[in-house]
Amino acid sequence: MQNKITKSRVSRKKNEVREHVDIRAVARLANVSVSTVSRTLSGIVNVDLKMANRVWKVVNDSGYMPNKQARALASGRSKIFGIIISNLNNPFFPELIQGFEDVAVERGYEILVGSTHYDKDCMVQCIRRMIERNVDGVAIMTSGIDDLSIDQLKKRDIPLVFVDTKVNHERASVLQCDYGHGIRQGVQHLAILGHRNIAFVSGPSELNSAKLRLTAFSRSLVECGIHNKSAWIIPGNHTFEGGIVAMKRLFAIGDLPTAIMCSNDMTAIGVLHALLQQGLRVPADMSILGFDDIDPARTTIPPLTTIEMPRIELARAAIDALGGHSHGIQWAKDRQNATIRTTLVVRKSTGFPRGAMSDLLLG
């Protein structure tokens, strides 16, 4: 028995003739114990300066890089945050993911992105992948997540953060977006230009953020003393095509507003196309306002006036919420609920109502 073990050890050793430096090698070279190396690298515990320096020297000279898999296994913390989105082809997400990654890396974390592709099975698989990789938290940035999957996460005490969720899951943070502020700025901007006839192309009715945007719009209209004509609330679906369809509907009504606010930028871009197709100029004949400030909004013709959804902040808040939890203890107290404020970005798609200039000239 003894012999066998020895033999096996030896054969392992033989394979390791390759100069793969592990923590043990570093310890040996620095003439300290592995735990001292570990402590030195973690930097949390005090280590005698002499030894620490020896360790650092060896680390630098040998090009040692710790194996995070092993670290994760031993410590129970993977240093990975998961983030669930619908998919990257939706232009809202790339910037969000980029922000999430940047902040995560800044704090020594890796990210694992899961795309649901608006598909239930995909969702379930995403969550499973996250659990299998032992993520230290997951940010859920898309709606319609299966409750059973969420339970899987909760059962394992994995910190969670949602955005704009109404159901305030216990044991989970939720980030609230203040759509009101940006939308109010938008409506006021239009009101100041002289608009009194403003339509709104909404988003999917099952999407909470879309509902909130619509509500904020209606409220802002009231605040500005503008008549809220229900026929001018056109249903949309947050896509380019949806914007075009919405405009068709509006044209069908016959009674055109002087400005159109959209629940998101893609819709606004669709509206822009439909308008130009009909020979209407933006903003001369019609003002358009978007929402989100996705990248393409900057380069449409004319560049889109829109309400910025600060995705970098969102990302940062999400990671704060995730990292703020201390190992599943004291959840209720740790819960971090931040509010993200939206703001107006004025570009070129908004102007005076049609006829206003001639009014001025005549007046």
Partner DNA sequence: CTGAAAGCGCTAACAA
Partner DNA sequence: TTGTTAGCGCTTTCAG
Which residue ranges make up the site for a second copy (CB under 8 A)?
A: 63, 65-70, 72-73, 78, 87-89, 91, 93-95, 97-98, 101-102, 105, 110-113, 115, 125, 128-129, 131-134, 152, 240, 266, 269-270, 272-273, 276, 295-296, 298-301
Q: Which is nearer to a second copy, 194 or 323 (CB)?
A: 323
Residue choice 4, 14, 166, 333 for contact with DNA (CB under 7 A): 4
Print the binding letters for residues 153-172 with DNA: x by CB under 7 A, - otherwise: --------------------
Q: Can you say whether the dihedral through the CA atoms of 199, 349, 268, 354 is positive or negative?
A: positive
User: What is the per-residue DSSP string for 48-113?
Assistant: -HHHHHHHHHHHHHHT----HHHHHHHHS---EEEEEES-TTSTTHHHHHHHHHHHHHHTT-EEEE
Phi, psi torsion values for 354, nearest 5 degrees: -60, 140
Smallest distance, DNA to C-beta of residue 111, A:
20
Q: Which is nearer to a second copy, 82 or 180 (CB)?
A: 82
The CB-of-87 to a second copy minimum distance in angstroms stands at 6
For residues 179 and 308, which CB has a smaller minimum distance to a second copy in the complex?
Answer: 308
Q: Which residue has the tokens 């759509």?
A: 179
Partner from DNA, a second copy, none binding residue 89, C-beta < 5-8 Å depending on class: a second copy
The whole-angstrom separation of Cα 49 and Cα 47 is 6
User: 62-121: which residues touch DNA (CB under 7 A)?
Assistant: 64, 66-67, 70-71, 73-77
* Angle, alpha carbons 94-95-96 (nearest 5°): 90
The burial class, CB within 10 Å (0-12 / 13-18 / 19+), for 25 is middle
- Rounded distance between C-alpha atoms, residue 265 and residue 262, angstroms: 7
Residue number with CB closer to a second copy (49 or 74): 74
